[in-house]
C-alpha cells in the first residue's frame, strides 16, 4: 500500500464514524473518495467508498439508491484479490432489502453474510447478521425464533467483548420479550443494555432503553415507575430531537395516562404523536396511534370520533397489509422460504454450539462475562461458607491473552468458570480456597512465566496473575480496575 492509498484509508475510517450523525456530508465526501481511489487505481478504496455511500443512503432511508450503490461495490470485488469486504457488502444488501420490507430477500443476504463472516473471522458482521435475522423473524411474527436469535447475538457479543453490539442486541431482545409479554425479563435485559452502553453516547439507544423500560413497567402495572421511565425517554427525545423516537415516546405516555383514567391528557399526547409520525412514518405507527385514539374516544363516550379514528386505523392497517402482500409477491426469495429458514436455523445452531463449547479448543469452561459475574455474586453471597477464589490474568497483547486463556482453561475442573473480563483481562472463578488456591495460583503463574512468548512474537509483555479471596473481590469490572490502579500507584 503506497502513501496515497494509506491516506485514503485513513480518511475512509474517519468517515465511517460520522455516517449516523452526518449522512449527507459523509455521502458527498465518500463520493469524492471513490473518484480519488479510481484515479490512483485502488479498487479496494473504491469498494470501501461505495460501502460507506450505501450506508449513508440507508441512514437517509433512500433504499433504492443504497441497493444500487452496494450492488456496484459487489461487482467490483472481482478487481481485488481477497474477500475481506464481502460479508459487509452482503450485510448491507440485506439492510437495504429490510428497509424496503422485502424480508425474504433480506433473510437470504443475512444468511450469506453469516456464512462468509465466519470464513474470514469478521465477528462484528456475524453479530449484525444474527441481529438482522432476528428482526426478520419478528417482522414475520416468529417471536420465539426472533428471541432465541437475539439471545445468541447477545451471547456472542458478550463473549467477544463488543459492548455496543451487545447493547443493540439487548434492546431488540427486549422488544421480542415485550411482544411475548415477558415484562420482568425485559427489565433485566434493559438493565444489561444500559450497563454495556454506558460509554457509547448514542441518544437514540438511550431513549429506546427508557421507552421500553416504561412499556415493561406499564405491563406490570407499576404506573409511578413507568411515568419516571417514559418521562426520561421523552426528555431525551426532546433534548436531542430524535424524530424516530418522538412518536414512540408520546404513544407510551398516552398509554400511561389512559391506564390512569386520564383520557383528555392521553388524547392530547396522541395528537402530538400523530403530528410527529406524519413527517416520516409509512403507516405502521400511525395505525397504532389511530387505534389508541379510538380507544380513548370510546372511553369518554365520544363514539363519533371513535368511529372516525377507527376508520383511519383500518385504512392505514389495510394499506400496510396490501403493500406488504404486494412486496412479498414481488420478493424473488419468497419461493425458497422454507429452504432459507432451514439454512438459517442450521447456521444459528452451529454458532450457538461454537460459543457454548468450542469443539476445536475444548474451551467448555469459558463462559460469557455476564454469566461469570452472576455466578461470582452467588458464591460471594455464601459469606463464611464461600468456597471459591478468583484469579485474574492480565496481558496487554491480544494473542497473548488468548494463549493465557488456553493455559488457564487447562487448570479448570467441573466447578470452575473462565471468562474474558475485558480485552486484556481474564477471570478464573476457582472452586478452591486458602492454600489450595495459592498452590494453583503459584503453578499457573510459573507456567505463564516459563512460556516461550518470544516464539509467538511477543517479546516485551509478560502476563500478570493476581489471586483474590472471593469475599474481597470487587462487585464490578470498574471497581476491579480502580482497585488495581490504587495498588499500582
Reading the block at residue 151, the C-alpha cell is 439471545
408 with 444: CB under 8 angstroms? yes
CB 397 within 8 A of CB 464: no
CATH number of the domain located at residue range(s) 369-488 in this protein: 3.30.70.270
Q: Does residue 375 contact residue 417 with C-beta atoms inside 8 Å?
A: yes
Q: What is the DSSP letter of 79?
A: G
Predicted pLDDT of residue 354: 64
pLDDT digits (tens, 9 = 90+) for 142-178: 889 999 999 999 988 888 878 899 999 999 999 999 9
3-state DSSP helix/strand/coil % of the chain, to nearest 5: 75, 5, 20
Q: What is the DSSP string of 182-214?
A: -HHHHHHHHHHHHHHTTT---HHHHHHHHHHHH
Residue 66: pLDDT band with limits 50, 70, 90 = very high
Which of 368 and 71 is assigned the larger pLDDT? 71
The set of cell numbers assigned to 434 is 486458602
For residue 375, the model assigns a pLDDT of 86
Pairing of strands 389-394, 417-422: unpaired
DSSP state of 460: S
Domain locations in the chain as residue ranges: 1-82, 369-488
Q: What is the pLDDT of residue 34?
A: 95
Which backbone phi and psi does 222 adopt, to 5 degrees? -95, 80
DSSP secondary structure of 102-168: -HHHHHHHHHHHHHHHHHTT-HHHHHHHHHHHHHHHHHTT-HHHHHHHHHHHHHHHHHTT-HHHHHH
How many Å apart are CA 372 and CA 405, to the nearest integer? 15
DSSP state of 366: B
CA dihedral 72, 78, 80, 84 (to 10 degrees): 70
Element (H, E) at 452: none
Q: Residue 359: which pLDDT band, with cuts at 50, 70 and 90?
A: very low
Highest average pLDDT, of 148-152, 382-386, 397-401, comes from 148-152
Secondary structure element (H or E) that encloses residue 417, with its range? strand 417-422
In 197-262, alpha helices (H): 203-219, 223-240, 243-259
Section 439-455 average pLDDT: 89
Cα separation of 34 and 11, whole Å?
Answer: 11
Entry pTM: 0.70
Among 197, 199, 223, 219, smallest CA distance to 208 is for 197
Residue, of 328 and 315, whose pLDDT is higher: 315
* pLDDT tens column, 85-124: 999 999 999 999 998 878 888 999 999 999 888 777 788 9
**How many helices and strands, by DSSP H and E, does the chain display?**
21, 4
Amino acid at each position: 500500500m503506497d502513501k496515497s492509498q494509506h491516506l485514503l484509508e485513513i480518511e475512509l475510517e474517519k468517515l465511517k464514524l460520522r455516517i449516523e450523525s452526518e449522512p449527507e456530508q459523509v455521502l458527498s465526501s465518500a463520493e469524492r473518495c471513490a473518484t480519488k481511489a479510481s484515479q490512483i487505481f485502488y479498487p479496494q478504496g473504491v469498494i470501501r467508498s461505495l460501502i460507506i455511500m450505501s450506508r449513508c443512503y440507508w441512514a437517509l432511508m433512500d433504499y433504492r439508491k443504497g441497493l444500487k450503490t452496494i450492488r456496484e461495490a459487489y461487482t467490483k470485488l472481482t478487481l481485488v484479490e481477497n474477500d475481506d469486504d464481502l460479508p459487509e457488502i452482503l450485510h448491507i444488501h440485506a439492510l437495504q432489502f429490510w428497509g424496503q420490507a422485502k424480508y425474504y430477500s433480506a433473510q437470504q443476504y443475512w444468511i450469506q453474510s453469516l456464512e462468509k463472516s465466519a470464513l474470514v473471522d469478521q465477528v462484528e458482521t456475524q453479530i449484525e447478521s444474527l441481529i438482522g435475522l432476528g428482526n426478520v423473524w419478528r417482522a414475520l411474527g416468529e417471536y420465539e425464533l426472533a428471541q432465541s436469535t437475539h439471545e445468541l447475538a447477545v451471547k456472542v457479543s458478550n463473549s467477544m467483548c463488543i459492548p455496543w453490539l451487545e447493547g443493540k442486541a439487548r434492546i431488540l431482545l427486549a422488544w421480542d420479550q415485550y411482544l411475548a409479554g415477558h415484562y420482568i425479563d425485559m427489565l433485566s435485559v434493559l438493565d444489561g443494555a444500559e450497563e454495556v452502553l454506558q460509554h457509547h453516547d448514542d441518544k437514540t439507544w438511550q431513549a429506546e432503553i427508557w421507552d421500553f423500560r416504561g412499556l415493561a413497567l406499564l405491563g406490570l402495572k407499576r404506573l409511578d415507575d413507568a411515568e419516571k421511565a417514559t418521562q426520561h425517554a421523552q426528555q431525551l427525545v426532546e433534548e436531542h430531537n430524535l424524530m424516530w423516537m418522538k412518536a414512540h415516546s408520546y404513544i407510551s405516555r398516552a398509554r400511561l395516562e389512559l391506564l390512569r383514567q386520564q383520557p383528555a391528557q392521553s388524547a392530547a399526547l396522541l395528537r402530538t404523536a400523530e403530528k410527529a409520525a406524519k413527517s416520516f412514518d409509512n403507516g405502521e405507527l400511525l395505525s397504532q396511534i389511530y387505534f389508541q385514539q379510538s380507544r380513548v374516544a370510546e372511553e369518554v363516550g365520544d363514539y363519533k370520533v371513535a368511529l372516525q379514528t377507527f376508520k383511519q386505523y383500518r385504512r392505514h392497517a389495510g394499506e400496510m397489509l396490501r403493500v406488504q402482500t404486494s412486496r412479498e409477491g414481488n420478493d424473488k426469495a419468497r419461493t425458497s422460504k422454507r429452504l432459507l429458514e432451514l439454512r438459517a436455523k442450521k447456521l444459528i445452531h452451529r454458532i450457538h454450539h461454537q460459543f457454548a463449547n468450542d469443539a476445536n479448543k475444548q474451551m467448555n469452561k469459558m463462559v460469557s462475562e455476564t454469566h461469570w459475574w452472576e455466578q461470582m455474586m452467588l458464591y460471594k453471597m455464601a459469606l463464611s461458607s464461600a468456597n471459591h477464589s478468583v484469579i485474574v490474568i492480565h496481558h496487554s497483547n491480544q494473542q497473548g491473552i488468548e494463549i493465557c486463556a488456553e493455559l488457564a482453561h487447562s487448570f479448570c475442573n467441573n466447578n470452575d468458570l473462565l471468562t474474558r473480563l475485558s480485552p486484556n483481562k481474564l477471570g478464573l472463578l476457582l472452586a478452591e480456597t486458602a492454600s489450595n488456591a495459592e498452590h494453583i495460583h503459584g503453578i499457573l503463574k510459573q507456567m505463564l512465566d516459563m512460556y516461550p512468548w518470544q516464539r509467538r512474537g511477543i517479546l516485551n509483555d509478560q502476563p500478570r496473575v493476581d489471586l483474590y479471596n472471593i469475599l474481597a473481590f470487587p462487585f464490578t469490572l470498574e471497581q476491579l480496575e480502580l482497585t488495581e490502579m490504587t495498588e499500582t500507584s
